[in-house]
Every structure is written in structure tokens, then in C-alpha cells.
């Protein structure tokens, strides 16, 4: 577990720095602000459920961090929103799943989108997963990029407390503070309820996944490495970017 945490920490910083460079923002922000006492590893166990269609292993949500590195077993059950549909993320023993979190969405001014996901239960087999969450220090200030910021500046402590208050009072996370509203008002990051008429797709996506936007780009990283591949990536639009990273060699 210590090795998983150490390797995940290094990978998380590498990915965050590369994504920051694509935004033409200082990549050292993460080394200076993401400290070990706020980043953490979580092990999840989902027991079998005889009525999986009626019970979530994990309710639909977005992560309240910069990015999440997830390793799941071969049982499956993880789904994410893509094109207004729930898509199954196909398990792959040689792949990690990377989710962009709420803080990266705010920091990038919406260029990278926090991905909504959920976990469905299995009727006969228990599921295990391990996740690493890249978080800043509590006093770190998240400053939105761009000349027309969609979100106001806020500290991680403030956002974390607001999320806890929202869940306690409302049962769900409200979202990110917009540039014209106070924390606690209605925002856009987290949906109040599920998107209607969603249907799961069984094929799934056997890949590292970073959610974002108008185009979907498959990146072959085995030969060139993650950093060089993303650096050389051509994007037609700077509005929103959707990056799907192909399998990252774990050896």
C-alpha cells in the first residue's frame, strides 16, 4: 500500500503538471500546494447485492480534489457520464483510471471538466478498488484562470467545509462557487439528481480517462511517455479538451 501511494503521488504530480502546462499555467503549483497530509489513499469494498439494479455501490458524484488515480479489480461496476449516458469503464489489469476533480475544473476555468461517476453493485461477487486523491493544503487558494473566470477564488478548507455542509443538509454536493455567487448557492459542478433516461453501455472504455471536451483524443503513451505525448498533442480548440489516455504500462 505504501508503494501504491508513493507511485500514485508521483504519477498524479506528473499528470497535473502536464495538464497545467497545456493551460499555460505554472506547473509548480502542485508541488508547492499539494501536501501529503491532505492527499490520501482510500480502499473500497463493495459487497455483492442480490438486486444490483436497485442499489448503488456508490452514488453518482464528482470528486472534490484535483485528480483521482483509481485502480479497480476485474469485477467492474464503475460507470461515468459520456454524451448524456452512463458508460461502463471496462476493467483492465494494466490500466489506471484518472478522474479530473472539482478543483481542477475551477482552476482551469472549466477547460477540464470534473467527471461524474458512480459504482454499480454485482449480484454475486464483491468488488475492490483503491484510489489516490490529489488534494491541496487546506489554506491553498484555488484561483480560476482566464480573463473571464467562471468561479471565484476560494480555499480548499472553505470548499471542503461547504461540501460537508451541503451533504449534511441536502444529501448531495452543490458544487463550485461561481464568480458572482457565494459558496452555498446553486452551482454547476455537481448535479442535484441523476441525468434522466440514462442507459448503460456494456462495452465500456478500457483506458486511462481524463474528462474534458469537444474532441476525444486517444494517446499512445507506451513509446513516448505521458508527458511528451500530451505536450505534443494538437488541440483545435482551447475552450474544452477531452483527453482519453490509453493504457499506461504499470511495469
Residue positions annotated with a catalytic role:
127
- For the beta carbon of residue 96, count every other beta carbon within 10 angstroms: 21
3-state secondary structure at position 164: helix
3-state secondary structure at position 101: coil
In contact, 172 and 60? CB cutoff 8 Å: no
Q: In this structure, is the dihedral angle defined by the CA atoms of residues 83, 86, 92 and 95, taken in order, positive or negative?
A: positive
Contacts 24+ apart (CB under 8 A), 223-229: 226/14, 226/15, 226/18, 227/14, 227/18
Cα–Cα distance measured from residue 103 to residue 52, given in angstroms and rounded to the nearest whole number: 31
Cell numbers of 48, please?
455483492
In contact, 34 and 88? CB cutoff 8 Å: no
Beta strands in the chain (DSSP E): 40-46, 56-61, 67-72, 78-82, 85-88, 97-100, 117-120, 127-134, 141-142, 154-155, 208-210, 216-219, 242-245
- Within 23-125, residue ranges assigned H as helices are 29-33, 102-107
Amino acid at each position: 500500500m505504501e508503494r501504491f501511494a508513493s507511485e500514485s503521488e508521483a504519477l498524479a504530480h506528473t499528470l497535473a503538471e502536464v495538464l497545467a502546462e497545456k493551460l499555460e499555467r505554472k506547473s509548480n503549483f502542485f508541488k508547492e500546494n499539494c501536501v501529503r497530509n491532505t492527499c490520501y489513499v482510500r480502499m473500497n469494498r463493495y459487497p455483492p447485492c442480490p438486486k444490483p439494479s436497485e442499489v448503488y455501490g456508490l452514488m453518482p458524484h464528482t470528486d472534490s480534489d484535483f485528480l483521482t488515480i483509481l485502480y479497480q479489480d476485474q469485477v467492474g461496476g464503475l460507470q461515468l457520464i459520456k454524451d448524456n449516458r452512463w458508460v461502463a469503464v471496462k476493467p483492465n489489469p494494466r490500466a489506471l483510471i484518472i478522474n479530473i476533480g472539482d478543483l481542477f475544473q475551477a482552476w482551469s476555468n472549466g477547460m477540464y471538466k470534473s467527471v461524474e461517476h458512480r459504482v454499480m453493485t454485482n449480484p454475486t461477487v464483491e468488488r475492490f478498488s483503491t484510489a489516490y486523491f490529489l488534494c491541496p493544503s487546506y489554506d491553498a487558494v484555488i484561483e480560476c484562470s482566464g480573463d473571464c473566470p467562471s468561479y471565484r477564488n476560494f480555499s480548499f478548507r472553505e470548499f471542503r467545509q461547504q461540501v460537508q455542509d451541503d451533504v449534511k443538509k441536502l444529501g448531495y454536493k452543490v458544487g463550485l462557487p461561481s464568480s458572482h455567487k457565494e459558496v452555498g448557492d446553486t452551482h454547476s459542478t455537481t448535479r442535484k439528481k441523476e441525468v434522466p433516461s440514462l442507459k448503460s453501455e456494456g462495452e465500456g472504455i478500457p483506458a486511462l480517462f481524463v474528462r474534458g471536451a469537444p474532441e476525444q483524443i486517444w494517446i499512445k503513451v507506451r513509446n513516448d511517455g505521458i508527458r511528451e505525448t500530451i505536450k505534443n498533442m494538437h488541440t483545435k480548440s482551447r475552450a474544452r479538451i477531452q483527453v482519453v489516455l490509453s493504457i499506461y504500462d504499470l511495469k
